[in-house]
Chain A
Amino acid sequence: MAVSISTHAHSSSQAHQQLEAEQKTGARILCEALEQEQVEILFGYPGGAIMPFYDALTSSSLRHVLVRHEQAAAHAADGYARATGRVGVCVATSGPGATNLVTGLATAFMDSVPIVAITGQVARRFIGTDAFQETDVIGVTQPITKHSILVRSVEELAHAVHEAFAIARSGRPGPVLIDVPKDVQQATTAAPAPCRPTAPFRPAPTASLDEAAARAAALIDAAERPLILAGHGIILSNAYAALRAFAEKTGIPVITTLLGISAFPESHPLSLGLPGMHGRAEVNHAINASDVLVAVGMRFDDRVTGNISQFAPKARIIHIDIDPSEMGKVLTPTVPMVADARIALEALTTHVAPVRHDGWMATIQTWRREAEQNGQTPPAPHASTDADACPEPQEILAAIRQATRGKALVVTDVGQHQMWAARFYGYDQPNSHLTSGGLGTMGFALPAAMGAALGRPNEPIWVVAGDGGIQMNIQELATIANLGLPIKVAIFNNGYLGMVRQWQQFFHQRNYSEVRITGPDYVKLADAYGIAGFQVLRASDVASTVERAMSIDGPVVIDFVIEQEANVYPMVAPGQANINMIHQAPSAGGSR
């Protein structure tokens, strides 16, 4: 272990002591800078190169949550940031501590989540010598951070922290990493560099917004089959009311992308739901027929568009995004509007004429009924006729909604359950659905829910995860138990890596390759962590077990043993147009 010794010398002279009294260590400055940023909570894990910071931490006002793996620290900071709209903070030591943050940083980067990661680094004189636990974390994380700063002197430290927070939360939010050498944490200074207020790096071009809004409004007013595609930008800019006002004035139905879920209440008559690969059939039909798409705070992800050359073939596109590089990245919009979602929607709302699109809505409703009648869209949750049948995914989600009166904050992992949770819960509360959309990080849900639970302590938090993903960060049950966080964990256990299995069934002739997965006895596992655990084998026990979980104050794990080969429908094969949806499994054939 590389131990660096503070070069700060003690002196007996009184004058020097007085001077020393004003001196602060880098570690102290770091804590104070975080306090000034009104950070309340950090998620982290100590180690050699970050020890001076942890030493100073005990005499600060900062609350620290000790996770069981640094990846969880990054996801927890991410979950906290998504749930609260504040900047999440995670801390790790150099080397393996820092590299363990990588997946969490990439997750936050893809989904535009503001987090600040603080990593210890080996002392400056050891940098570049392959010192113990040395990693070039700035280099490693360069493509997955919005910015990163290696702090080269104690004088620069406070400014670096404030700059990191300003960058993380400004414009399109994202993760920023601050790498602090151990000797910078130990060094002292009485004269930190002044914290220059960080100017906005890219002032939004507000001057042209009005003109763009007028052009967009002309398109919208003339549209016969318009649609709104609402994404994460609505939630990030707190534009719920602006979106609703715009939709209601124009009568335009609202599609919400995976990260746009809970940007618009699903019980609203204009709500259409999820588009794309596992979207609702009528939503994909509507996009195919649409003549004007108002895309707000979304980036035309391939899971939304399917084959891009056949996406919305008749539509002119109004693209609103705060990030200018999104304009023309995937599709070239007819009217680009580079602006914050709320500001752009408010500008649009003043320009558009009040309209209703009853005929267009009726057409979409017809597609919806046809899809349901043809079995193309799974029906709304219903009581199972066979009490001994397996719990059905939509029944579990309906039971959670019922037991929480729709007030749950649902944090999902990645896979089939993620799509079921996106489709069958019915999100009405703003920002009540957190998931890893862009990166698709299995193992996200449990640690992200810890951050969400600490950020929104008075809300019921439900984790919805598969039996694959839950095992990727299951160690965090210890953190959850330790803190007594009231997180209810619903494991959709089919004994398979379900989404991969579904692809193998559909596209690889049922050649099931390494998708059978075992797990522990989750009831015993929960018990081992001191957490209440239940297993549900029958549909008839779903609602009562969910109710029981809600009656328990602390964390609960429920192992829902669902049908092994349940599939997510509809499904669009990769590379296909979204209207070419698969509604049933290929006829059995091939070997398993």
Chain B
Amino acid sequence: MNDSKLMQASAATTTSERYALVLLMMDRGNALERVLGTLRRRGPTFSTVNLVATEMPDTARVTITVQGTRAAADQAVEHLRKLVDVRWATVIPATGSGETMLLREFALMRVSCGAQHRREVMALAERFGARVVDIADSTLTLEVSGSSDTIEQLLGLAQPFGIRELTRTGQVAI
């Protein structure tokens, strides 16, 4: 077997990782449907999708988090680049490490918290730069933004108190 030829040639093409696909897309018609339809058929499975406004009118930035091999992510980007409304596309590791592009996400979490634990949870929030946006009898609602790792860590530490509800946007890139 010619080692340079087949897809399963190297570890980079077989290890499943999380990647962020970042696009600049003309925000018109069914552009997002086409992007997602292309990924549904050809791409690795995606977990989060964010379409946001940019400094350019009619142009949206789309950040899609996918799980798969690097080869599959690269192939998906090539297919996305063929779409007429996609003006630019790239793929970066979802950790964002070593990239010039920044990846951040935003989360709201409602933590179970009676009066006796309030101080503790608020201290935790402060450590992560999270804001307390609502205080109720039995819950505190925190708002946090940062890298996915940061949000994971905060969630891990808040877990023992009990997480009643969680809203995570998924990653957005700049």
Interface residues of A, Cβ cutoff 8 Å to B: 138-139, 142-143, 146-150, 167, 171-172, 201-202, 308-309, 313-317, 323-325, 327-329, 331-334
- CA–CA, A143 to B29, complex, Å? 15
Q: A332 contacts B82, CB within 8 Å?
A: no
In the bound assembly, the distance between CA atoms of A6 and B30 in angstroms comes to 27
Chain B residues, Cβ within 8 Å of A142 = 30, 33-34, 37
The answer to whether B7 touches A325 (Cβ under 8 A) is no
A332–B75 Cα distance when bound, in Å, is 11
Contact present for A332 and B4 (CB under 8 Å): yes
Residues of A within 8 A of B30 (CB): 138-139, 142, 148, 150
Q: Does B81 contact A (CB under 8 A)?
A: yes
Whether A309 pairs with B71 at a CB distance below 8 angstroms is no
State the Cβ distance, A336 to closest chain B Cβ, in Å.
11
Complex Cα–Cα for A248 and B14 (A): 41
| CB-based contact B6/A331 at 8 Å | yes
Q: Is the CB of A324 within 8 A of B5?
A: no
- Measured CA separation A138–B37 after assembly (Å): 12
A327–B74 alpha-carbon span in the complex (Å): 11
0/1 string, B66-100, CB within 8 A of A gives 1: 00000100110011011110000000000000000
Instruction: Check A314 against B84 for contact (C-beta < 8 Å).
Output: no
Shortest CB-to-CB span from B140 to chain A, Å, is 42
- Interchain CB contact under 8 A, A138 and B29: yes
A314 interface neighbour in B2, B34, B37, B71, Cβ under 8 Å: B2
List CB contacts (< 8 Å) of B28-50 with chain A. Answer: 29-30, 33-34, 37, 41
Chain A: which residue is nearest B33 at the CB level?
A: A142
Cβ of B157 within 8 Å of any chain A Cβ, yes or no, is: no
A-B contacts besides A325-B79, A332-B5, A332-B6, 14 pairs, CB < 8 Å: A139-B30, A143-B37, A147-B84, A150-B30, A201-B84, A202-B82, A314-B2, A316-B2, A316-B5, A317-B5, A328-B74, A331-B5, A332-B4, A334-B4
Check: B133 CB closer than 8 A to any chain A CB: no
Tell me which residues across on chain A come within 8 A of B6, comparing CB atoms: 308-309, 331-332
Interface contact A315-B33, CB-CB below 8 Å: no
**B9 sits at the interface (CB 8 A):** yes
CB contacts (< 8 Å) of B83 on chain A: these are 147
Tell me the minimal C-beta distance from B57 to chain A in angstroms. Answer: 16
State the CA gap A142–B84 with chains docked (Å): 12
B1 adjacent to chain A (CB < 8 Å): yes
Partner of B84, one of A167, A172, A329: A167
- A142–B74 CA distance with the chains assembled, in angstroms: 22
Whether the pair A313, B84 counts as a contact (CB closer than 8 A) is no
Q: Which residues of A contact B7 (CB under 8 A)?
A: 328, 331-332
Give min CB distance, B122 to chain A, whole Å: 48
Closest to B77 in A: A325
Complex alpha-carbon distance, A199 and B18, angstroms: 34
Bound CA span A201–B85, Å: 9
- From residue A164, how far is it (CB to closest CB) to chain B in Å? 10
**Residues of chain B within 8 A of A315, CB atoms compared:** 2, 5
Alpha-carbon distance A313/B3, docked complex (angstroms):
10
Nearest Cβ on chain A to B11's Cβ, whole angstroms: 14
- Quick one: given A138-B29, A148-B30, are A329 and B81 in contact (CB under 8 Å)? no
| Residues of A close to B81: CB separation below 8 A | 202, 324-325
Flag if A334 contacts B5 (CB, 8 Å).
Answer: yes
Bound-complex Cα distance A212 to B41 (A):
31
- 14 A–B pairs (Cβ distance < 8 Å), ordered by A: A142-B37, A167-B84, A202-B82, A309-B1, A309-B6, A313-B2, A315-B5, A328-B71, A332-B4, A332-B6, A332-B7, A332-B9, A334-B4, A334-B5
Q: How far is the CB of B1 from chain A (nearest CB, A)?
A: 6
- The distance in angstroms between the C-alpha atoms of A171 and B4, with both chains bound, is 28
Query: What is the CB-to-nearest-CB distance from A500 to chain B, in angstroms, rounded to a whole number?
Result: 26
Across the interface, do A143 and B41 meet the contact criterion of CB distance under 8 Å? yes
CA distance A149 to B82 in the complex (A): 16
Nearest-Cβ distance from residue A205 to partner chain B, whole angstroms = 12
Q: A313-B2, A334-B5 are in contact. Are A325 and B78 (CB under 8 A)?
A: yes
Complexed CA–CA distance, A323 and B79 (Å) = 9
Q: How many Å from the CB of A66 to the closest CB on chain B?
A: 31
The 6 tightest CB contacts between A and B, nearest first, are A325-B78, A147-B84, A325-B79, A324-B78, A334-B4, A142-B37
Q: Min CB distance, B9 to chain A, in Å? A: 7
Chain B residues within 8 Å of A146, by CB: 82, 84
Contact of A323 among B9, B74, B82, B84 (CB under 8 A): B82
List residues 111-158 of chain B with CB under 8 A from any CB of chain A.
none
User: How near does chain B come to A178, taking the closest CB pair, in angstroms?
Assistant: 11
Are B75's CB and A329's CB within 8 A?
Answer: yes
Q: Which residues of B contact A149 (CB under 8 A)?
A: 29
Report the separation of the CA atoms of residues A143 and B30 in the bound assembly, to the nearest whole angstrom.
12
Min CB–CB distance B42 → chain A (angstroms)? 8
Q: Which residues of B contact A332 (CB under 8 A)?
A: 4-7, 9
Residues from chain A with Cβ under 8 Å of B82 in the complex = 146, 171-172, 202, 323-325
A464 to chain B, nearest CB (A): 33
CB-CB < 8 A to B9: which residues of A? 332
Task: Tell me, rounded to whole Å, the shortest Cβ–Cβ distance linking B80 to chain A.
Answer: 9
Closest A-chain residue to B29, C-beta based? A150
Closest to A333 in B: B5
- Determine the chain B residues whose CB is within 8 A of the CB of A172 once the complex forms: 82
- B6 to chain A: closest CB distance in Å? 7
Per the bound structure, the CA–CA distance linking A374 and B71 in Å amounts to 44
For B6, B9, B30, B82, the residue with the greatest tally of chain A CB atoms inside 10 Å of its CB is B82
Q: Which of B4, B33, B79 contacts A139 (CB 8 A)?
A: B33
Q: Indicate if the CB atoms of B37 and A328 lie closer than 8 Å.
A: no
B4–A316 contact, CB under 8 A?
yes
Shortest distance from the beta carbon of B134 to any chain A beta carbon, whole Å: 37
Chain B nearest CB: distance from A356 CB in Å?
A: 25
Q: Which residues on B sit within 8 Å (CB–CB) of A333? A: 5
Nearest Cβ distance between residue B64 and chain A, in whole angstroms? 17
Q: Which residues of A contact B78 (CB under 8 A)?
A: 324-325, 327
Query: Given the complex, which residues of B lie within 8 Å of A334, measured CB to CB?
Result: 4-5
B75 to chain A: which residues have CB within 8 Å? Answer: 325, 328-329
Chain A residues within an 8 Å CB radius of B5: 315-317, 331-334
Q: Chain A's nearest CB lies how many Å from the CB of B84?
A: 4
Shortest distance between the CB of B36 and any CB in chain A (Å): 10
By CB atoms of chain B within 10 A, which of A313, A329, A332 has the most? A332
Nearest opposing residue in chain A for B87, CB measure: A201
In the bound complex, what is the Cα–Cα distance between A327 and B4 (angstroms)? 13
A148 cross-chain contacts in B, Cβ below 8 A = 29-30
Contacting residues, chain B, for A324 (C-beta < 8 A): 78, 81-82
| Separation of A328 and B6 alpha carbons in the complex (Å) | 8
**Chain B neighbourhood of A139, CB < 8 A:** 30, 33
Q: How far is the CB of A578 from chain B (nearest CB, A)?
A: 16
Within 8 A of A (CB), among B3-22: 4-7, 9
Set of chain B residues within 8 Å of A331, measured between Cβ atoms: 5-7
Residues in A with CB closer than 8 Å to B4 are: 316, 332, 334
